[in-house]
Structure 1
């Protein structure tokens, strides 16, 4: 994923593109590759761009899966904890 660091720190990086932007550009790249008529150099450049965009999308999805897993785990803990406190 192409990322940029914040100017103040060397901390976490922010994705250059949102998931939706990366997905839309990836769709455009695929359509251009499928249409043909490109030189080998153009095709390779598009392929490489597509690979980078696919990686960006996958990283966004992995992040979303991780957040969902945390939220589900926290929800499960709250339900278990709530039952333990109920005197019935």
Structure 2
């Protein structure tokens, strides 16, 4: 089931690393906090910020799924999926 609030991520955002997207998101927050942008620009950059946040959330979920926990059992190491929830 897809999230009704999610939007298609534009290609320029989809190719960003987590760090790049987070950095741009931080710049957007600074602009919005400054109060130096007009209403139309605020709406546009808020929308882009929402897409960046959605992209970052997906990147974090993907990373979380890949995390493995190394467990020592009787001197032997084994790998099992991390319980990160």
Please indicate, yes or no, whether the TM-score normalized by the shorter chain is above 0.5: yes
Bigger helix fraction: 1
Structure 1: 4+ residue segments shifted above 6 A: none
Partners of 1:37 and 1:79 lie apart in 2 by 58
Partner in structure 2 of residue 31 of structure 1:
30
| Structure 1 gaps, min length 5 | 5-14, 84-88
Q: Matched residue of 1:64: which SS?
A: helix
Bigger strand fraction: 2
Task: Tell me how large the CA RMSD over aligned residues is.
Answer: 2.3
Of the two, which has the highest radius of gyration?
1
Partners of 1:55 and 1:31 lie apart in 2 by 18
Are residue 52 (structure 1) and residue 51 (structure 2) matched?
Answer: yes
Contact 1:2 1:52 (8 Å CA) reproduced: yes
In the TM superposition, residue 2 of structure 1 has moved relative to its aligned partner by 2.4
Instruction: Report the TM-score when normalising by structure 1.
Output: 0.64
